[in-house]
Amino acid sequence: MAHQTDSTETLLAYVRDVSLRDDEILRGLREETARLPGGASMQVMAEEGQLLALLVGLTGARSVLELGTFTGYSALCMARALPAGGTVVTCDVTDRWPEVGAAFWKRDGLDDRIELRVGDATDTLDELLAERGAGAFDLVFVDADKTNYRTYYEKSLDLTRSGGLLVIDNTLYFGRVADPEFDDADTVAVRELNSALATDERVDISLLPMADGITLVRKR
């Protein structure tokens, strides 16, 4: 059986050289984010942003929901892939970090495609369900606090149309999910979600060993 290739810095540089389609605006937002406390570790990889954009295009998504905006890099990547009239609703507990990205959204001419909702994500999901109804979104990206991942998943699944896609980030959580020595609340929450997804007959799944683990979930 073939095994995964170790991702060395040299190999990652090669991947970026042959596949990453970058530009000044995306690089600028990544660099701005990296200067923030914990910014480099909290931001999605450039390759993941490009994957998200590809998934938006592949699914033909017009309505995208994101839980966990941070500085808005992934929101920008997904907004770029939307057709005219498409929207990304991105949610965060504060507007402090999204304000960093807002300037880049505007520079890219896409600020009208991105709607920021500030508040507790659980409440925001309930509000969106009341406002828009079940199945209102084509694609949902979950990258928020880990302890509430199971709740976010269930509510996001309600908001996703049949045949729609959920993308859940950090599902390998630094490799801790496979190590029983780690029993902190975040690791346990991610581990429990992974176990639940494995037997959830409402969906089809694939956990990609990329970045910190990305699980693709297609709603049947």
Q: Which helix (H) or strand (E) holds 219?
A: strand 214-219
Name the strands in the sheet holding 114-118, side by side, starting at the edge strand that comes first in the sequence: 114-118, 87-92, 63-67, 137-142, 160-169, 214-219, 203-208
Question: Distance (Å, rounded) from C-alpha 66 to C-alpha 141?
Answer: 5
* Amino acid letter, 164: G
Give the pLDDT score at 1: 47
Helix (H, G, I), strand (E, B) or coil at 162: strand
Q: Which helix (H) or strand (E) holds 206?
A: strand 203-208
* Burial state string for 60-98 with b = 16 or more CB within 10 A and e = fewer than 16: ebebbbbbbbbbbbbbbbbbbbbeeebbbbbbbeeeebb
- Domains of the chain (ranges; CATH) run 9-219 (3.40.50.150)
Tokens of 195: 């176990």
Beta bridge partners of residue 216, listed in sequence order: 167, 206
Q: Evaluate whether 213 touches 45 at the Cβ level (below 8 Å).
A: no
Q: Which helix (H) or strand (E) holds 216?
A: strand 214-219
Per-residue pLDDT of 150-207, as tens digits, reads: 999 999 999 999 999 999 999 999 999 999 999 999 999 999 999 999 999 999 999 9
Question: Distance (Å, rounded) from C-alpha 83 to C-alpha 69?
Answer: 21
Q: Evaluate whether 156 touches 142 at the Cβ level (below 8 Å).
A: yes
Instruction: Name the phi and psi angles at 118, rounded to 5.
Output: -110, 130
Q: Evaluate whether 142 touches 152 at the Cβ level (below 8 Å).
A: yes
The list of the chain residues with pLDDT below 50 reads 1
Tokens of 217: 């979930």
Residues in the chain: 220
Give the pLDDT score at 41: 86
Give the pLDDT score at 3: 63
Question: Distance (Å, rounded) from C-alpha 182 to C-alpha 188?
Answer: 8
Strand stretches in 68-118, DSSP E: 87-92, 114-118
* Burial state string for 135-152 with b = 16 or more CB within 10 A and e = fewer than 16: bbbbbbbbbbebebbeeb
* Amino acid letter, 200: D
